[in-house]
Amino acid sequence: MAQAGKGKLNYRCPSCFMRDLDIDMFYDRDKREYYCLRCQFTGTEEKILKWNELVRLRYGAMNKRITKFDFD
């Protein structure tokens, strides 16, 4: 296969992100998939975006506007 490159956007590995690792993924043109150099994650753009939503599950108050910061 030819060498890998970057896609139109610079996706990070969602699986590594879930363990607090920012790892750029590379794009394999032959297999038409992104892959992680560090872990075993591979996937299309669609799969990455889906997994990125899983990343956000930890942020339970992500969409909430908070105005009270004490418990008085």
Chain residues in the site for other proteins (CB under 8 A)? 5-6, 9-12, 17, 20-24, 38, 48-49, 52-53, 55-56, 58-67, 69-72
The candidate with the shortest Cα–Cα distance to 14, out of 59, 60, 43, is 43
Closest by CA position to 52, among listed 11, 23, 24, 20: 11
Give the integer Cα–Cα distance in Å for 20 and 6.
21
Nearest approach, Cβ of 32 to other proteins (angstroms)? 18
Q: How far is the CB of 38 from other proteins (least distance, A)?
A: 7
Distance of closest approach, residue 31 Cβ to other proteins, in angstroms: 19
